[in-house]
Amino acid sequence: MTTSKGRFVSILTLMMLGSLALVGLKVASPNMERTAEDYLRKANTLDLAVIADYGLGKEDQDELKTLQGASVEFGYMADLTVENSEEAVRLYSKPESISTFQVTEGRLPEANEEIALADFWKDRYQIGETITFTKKEEGKSVLKSQTFTITGFVQSGEILSKKDLGSASSGNGSLAGYGVILPSQFDSDVYSIARVRYDDLKNLDAFSSDYKRKRTQHQEDLQDLLADNGQKRLANIKTIGQKSLEEGKDRLQTAESNLENGRSQLEQAESRLKTQEEQATALPEPQKSQAKGQLTKAKEELATKKKNWLRQRVI
């Protein structure tokens, strides 16, 4: 369920997810299709998914919430790499009601730093063990924690194949597994996926021509609704970035101005001190000794101020 670099929004259909598995089911017996249909219904598997390279901002969310006759649920997802390997794993935030994960052993995560892994990894990991993911080499890490305790094993209605899971944006480029963690473990200001479930598709067989026809129409309508969102989101990101850059420039100019004022004040103080030293030599005793003591103290204070000013320049 990842998007290509050049696209902002991808609308994925159920039939595109785990396509190899579904193609196999299509030519199999009706009993197998009914078994798959029952499983998809139990998980309340999505009909369409909207995935954004730059995240789904508030405007995107508000627009998706206007969909009539549909339920929309927002979440997070990210591709990471298992520590000391090239295996890519897709981590999902725990959904509330759409595309729920079915537990086959143990339980779903209930606290931070807990994870439930794909069912087919039972032979590799045990409940209670920990698994660590590597951070992104470039940019900000998408997770608040990198190490998680395994609480259980699950099956997903969105990834039906156990061998060909699709491509990934991390590791060796091929998805090796998946897991589910709490939404609070994602360090992101925007959602990355919106799952959509349509009311008029709920009672239809996911393998029927009627389902496919109606789903295709919903997909086209959704594409029209979100057609210009990519450019808007990109423009918004550029605006925020430019604003941050301008604020940084303003802070730099202020700091440079303060340094220049400090330098000017130091030069004036040095000039006054030099004049006072010349005047002190003409004073009679004991005023001369008293003046020298005051000048020595003034020199020490000036030296301290100069040292602080030089430190600010280095910083």
Domain boundaries, the chain: 9-227, 238-314
Does the structure show a pLDDT above 70 at 170?
yes
Does the structure show a pLDDT above 50 at 14?
no
Higher pLDDT, 111 or 3: 111
Coil, helix or strand for 50?
Answer: strand
Residue 17's pLDDT is 44
Q: What is the mean pLDDT of residues 255-267?
A: 71
| Residue 7 Cα distances to 12, 70, 155, 311, angstroms | 13, 25, 29, 48
Q: What is the mean pLDDT of residues 147-165?
A: 91
The answer to whether 229 touches 58, Cβ cutoff 8 Å, is: no
Rounded (10°) CA dihedral 66, 68, 69, 70: -30
Does the structure show a pLDDT above 90 at 251?
no
Residue 5's pLDDT is 42
Rounded (10°) CA dihedral 57, 63, 69, 73: 10
What rounded mean pLDDT belongs to the chain?
79
Beta bridge partners of 197: 71
| Single-letter residue type at 227 | A
Which residues, 6+ apart, have CB-to-CB distance to 114 below 8 Å?
148, 149, 150, 151, 181, 182
Of 26-30, 179-183, 189-193, 302-306, the one with minimum mean pLDDT is 26-30
Higher pLDDT, 20 or 51: 51
Query: Which run of H or E residues covers position 117?
Result: strand 114-118
Beta bridge partners of 51: 10, 193
| Residue 45 Cα distances to 71, 95, 196, 198, 290, angstroms | 12, 11, 9, 11, 90
The answer to whether 56 touches 236, Cβ cutoff 8 Å, is: no
- 55-59, 135-139, 217-221, 295-299 — most confident range: 217-221
If pLDDT is split at 50, 70 and 90, which confidence band does 290 have? low
Q: What is the mean pLDDT of residues 109-133?
A: 97
Does the structure show a pLDDT above 90 at 258?
no
Q: What is the mean pLDDT of residues 254-263?
A: 70
Q: In the chain, pLDDT over 70 holds for what percent of residues?
A: 67
| Single-letter residue type at 194 | A
Residue 95's pLDDT is 96
Of 45-54, 166-175, 240-249, the one with minimum mean pLDDT is 240-249
User: Cis bond leading into 286, ω under 30°?
Assistant: yes
Q: What is the mean pLDDT of residues 70-78?
A: 95
The answer to whether 2 touches 49, Cβ cutoff 8 Å, is: no
Q: What is the mean pLDDT of residues 247-251?
A: 69
Does the structure show a pLDDT above 50 at 15?
no
**Integer Cα distance of 21 and 156 in angstroms:** 13
Does the structure show a pLDDT above 70 at 30?
no
Residue 210's pLDDT is 94
Residue 231's pLDDT is 55
* Sign for the pseudo-dihedral over CA of 260, 265, 269, 271: positive
Residue 167's pLDDT is 87
The answer to whether 148 touches 82, Cβ cutoff 8 Å, is: no
